[in-house]
Amino acid sequence: MDEVRVRIPVGPLLRQGFAVQALKNHKSMPKKPKAILVHGWDGSPDGGWFPWLKKELESKGFKVLAPQLPKPEEPRISNWVPKLKEVVGTPDEQTYFIGHSMGCQAIARYLAALPEGTKVGGAVFVAGFFKSLTGLEDDEIVRDVADEWLKTPIDLSAIGKRLKKSIAVFADNDPYVSADNQEDFADKLKAKIIVEHGQGHFDSQKELPIALKSILEIADK
């Protein structure tokens, strides 16, 4: 009997093999860390040290999101926290937050509302506050905004459980955030406290090396 030879087209199989291997390689690649930069009251992602920090973090392998939060001149919990939730998507332990001033409050309230058991990589709070604000202008809207963020209840212990690590950075001459605000970050959030000399409210600097150093520290970079 003559030998029967069956030709099997190898091209599609090879292409399929390459596709499977590429998928395996993709799954085995480490996930890129994500950093979310959250500006403060009357701020923007294009102001101060945010553009510099965004560029620095991107050069070190982070995916950086720096959203413009709604109506920054009159920030409200009902606008800022849902917007932050929309921007972040699904957080995980490769998600890191950097906030300035009111942005720290927005991050904290976002974290407190996450489902129990959710963990994020960590957060760096620059000039954050929970207890008090000082030196604000005597204006009805300003007072109302400050009261909303200061007096609306927030579960600080829940925030601490969401964070693997955190650092809170303060200045010894901040005109708005007094030293008593450090207590909640240290006691409830278990944050490492750093006090910088003569840096004010950290709102005039174009670069902020301590912010970069802190986020790299909590991300083990």
The predicted pLDDT at position 24 comes to: 52
- Torsions phi, psi of 133, nearest 5? -130, 140
Query: Mean pLDDT across the chain, nearest whole number?
Result: 91
Q: Which residue has the higher pLDDT, 32 or 28?
A: 32
The predicted pLDDT at position 113 comes to: 95
The predicted pLDDT at position 221 comes to: 84
Position 12 pLDDT exceeds 80: no
Correct CATH for 31-218 of 3.90.1170.50, 3.40.50.1580, 3.30.450.20, 3.40.50.1820: 3.40.50.1820
The predicted pLDDT at position 22 comes to: 46
> Six-digit token pair at 165?
């690590």
Q: Which residue has the higher pLDDT, 167 or 9?
A: 167
Position 60 pLDDT exceeds 80: yes
Residue 178 buriedness (CB in 10 A; 0-12 / 13-18 / 19+): middle
Give CA separation, 88 vs 84, 106, 119, 137, in Å: 6, 12, 13, 33
CA-closest candidate to residue 100, choices 32, 38, 184:
38
The predicted pLDDT at position 10 comes to: 52
pLDDT, tens only, 34-45: 999 999 999 999
The predicted pLDDT at position 7 comes to: 59
CA-closest candidate to residue 65, choices 106, 85, 44, 35:
35
Position 14 pLDDT exceeds 50: no
The predicted pLDDT at position 26 comes to: 44
The predicted pLDDT at position 29 comes to: 61
pLDDT, tens only, 90-133: 999 999 999 999 999 999 999 999 999 999 999 999 999 999 99
What 8-state DSSP symbol labels residue 180?
A: G
The predicted pLDDT at position 15 comes to: 55
The answer to whether 176 and 203 have CB atoms below 8 angstroms apart is no
The answer to whether 131 and 183 have CB atoms below 8 angstroms apart is yes
Position 25 pLDDT exceeds 90: no
